[in-house]
Structure 1
Amino acid sequence: MDEYTSPEFSRSALLTIDLQRDFVADIAGTTEVLPAVRRLTHAFRKAERPIVHVVRLYLPDGRNADLCRRTLRGKVNPHAPGSQLAGGLLSGGLTDSELDPDLLLAGHAQEIGPDQHILYKPRWSAFFRTRLLEHLAERAVSTVVVAGCNYPNCPRATLVDATERDLRAVAVRDALSGWTADADREMAGMGIACLDTSEVVAAITRVGSSV
């Protein structure tokens, strides 16, 4: 880390990736990282920093899915219970059935609380064919903190794309399912900070105490 890559938590946003019921049930290690992600969402809300829950929605016929997932059926379908966010990620009395798939599939961010949104992504990266970069720029975000499911695929693509857009990036290793033995080396080689949940919570808490 140096002056160009060190996280700026006072200008950070939390991105949770694909933490939906179907993925939590199907992808190894995702249930286990949920408590850490809940700690992060609580800390970011308390510090009044932006949170974006990034989700997938597959049409029943698979036509909007990646080529490698076109044969996947019955997962994270719009309006289906399995597409909803995992429990404990939302606040303010919202239930897990609050997603508005029509709004999300149209490319709009769904507001679910003060500076808390849900955003649909059509491919691995949360930046690909979405308004995420504009959403972050409108809030003067310089640093993205990434947690969720499943590191080798969507979180990794999101982290790489963040650096390509000159954003500082943090991978929360114990809040990412599928974290690999080589990930610390790989991410550090791209200037991405690899931190534990406790380190991020401590940093964002300091930000909140100064607000």
Structure 2
Amino acid sequence: MDEYTSPEFSRSALLAIDLQRDFVADVAGTTEVLPAVRRLTHAFRQAGRPIVHIVRLYLSDGSNADLCRRTLRGKVNPHSPGSQLAGEPAPGSELDPDLLLAGHAQEIGSDEHILYKPRWSAFFRTRLLEHLAERAVSTVVVAGCNYPNCPRSTLVDATERDLRTVAVRDALSGWTTDADREMTGMGIACLDTSEVVAAIRSRVISPV
């Protein structure tokens, strides 16, 4: 890492990707990363840093899903139990599908929001970049489900928007050893939860 890519944890936000009950139940390894994600959300809340839970919502006819998922039925449908955040979300964090599908951020805590994305990347046709800019965020820390798809797309799109970017290995289901090489080649820091938590608590950039 260098002066342009090193994480600035004092100006960071956590993006928790697609950690919804249906995906946790269906995607291998996602249940196992939930404890690490809980540690991250707790640290970010304590530090008063922004958290954005990124979610998918598939209409029952599949019309708003990616082409490769148009035939998928009965998953993360609006108002369904399986669409809700998994693990131990903040109190009062039941999704408001009408608000989310309209493109608005749903506030569930102090600088903690839910945002709907219509495709793989959390930046595609969403207000995420504006949401982060309003909070002077320079660094995004990415965790969740499932690295080869939505987290990977979000990480790459973050770099294209000149954001400093962190992938949290043990808080991303589907992470592979090849991912370390791939991500660092694009200036993305690959860290473990313990390193991120320590950096958030001390507000000191960890060496990579």
Q: CA deviation at 1:155?
A: 0.1
Secondary structure at 2:177 match in 1? coil
Secondary structure at 1:156 match in 2? helix
- Could you say if the C-alpha distance between residues 82 and 4 of structure 1 is closer, same or farther in structure 2, counting changes exceeding 3 Å? same
- Could you say if the C-alpha distance between residues 101 and 145 of structure 1 is closer, same or farther in structure 2, counting changes exceeding 3 Å? same
1:109 aligns with 2:102: no
Q: CA deviation at 1:207?
A: 6.5
1:185 aligns with 2:181: yes
- Answer whether contact 1:174 1:197 (CA < 8 A) is retained: yes
Q: 1:154 aligns with which of 150, 160, 169?
A: 150
Q: CA deviation at 1:180?
A: 1.0
Deviations 1:138-194 (A, max 9, x none): 000000000000000000000000000000000000000000120000000000000
CA distance in structure 2 between the partners assigned to 1:175 and 1:210 by the alignment: 19
Structure 1 regions of 5+ residues with no counterpart? 89-96
Secondary structure at 1:208 match in 2? coil
Alignment map for 1:107-146 (pairs within 5 Å): 107-146=103-142
Structure 2 regions of 5+ residues with no counterpart? none
- Answer whether contact 2:6 2:205 (CA < 8 A) is retained: no
CA distance in structure 2 between the partners assigned to 1:209 and 1:35 by the alignment: 22
Deviations 1:119-148 (A, max 9, x none): 000000000000000000000000000000
Q: CA deviation at 1:44?
A: 0.1
- Could you say if the C-alpha distance between residues 121 and 183 of structure 1 is closer, same or farther in structure 2, counting changes exceeding 3 Å? same
Q: CA deviation at 1:87?
A: 2.3
Q: What is the percentage of aligned positions where both structures have the same residue?
A: 91
Q: CA deviation at 1:206?
A: 3.8
- Could you say if the C-alpha distance between residues 32 and 59 of structure 1 is closer, same or farther in structure 2, counting changes exceeding 3 Å? same
CA RMSD after TM alignment? 2.6
CA distance in structure 2 between the partners assigned to 1:13 and 1:66 by the alignment: 27
Deviations 1:41-69 (A, max 9, x none): 00000000000000000000000000000
- Could you say if the C-alpha distance between residues 210 and 67 of structure 1 is closer, same or farther in structure 2, counting changes exceeding 3 Å? closer
- Answer whether contact 2:195 2:206 (CA < 8 A) is retained: no
CA distance in structure 2 between the partners assigned to 1:98 and 1:155 by the alignment: 22
- Answer whether contact 2:14 2:50 (CA < 8 A) is retained: yes
- Could you say if the C-alpha distance between residues 29 and 146 of structure 1 is closer, same or farther in structure 2, counting changes exceeding 3 Å? same
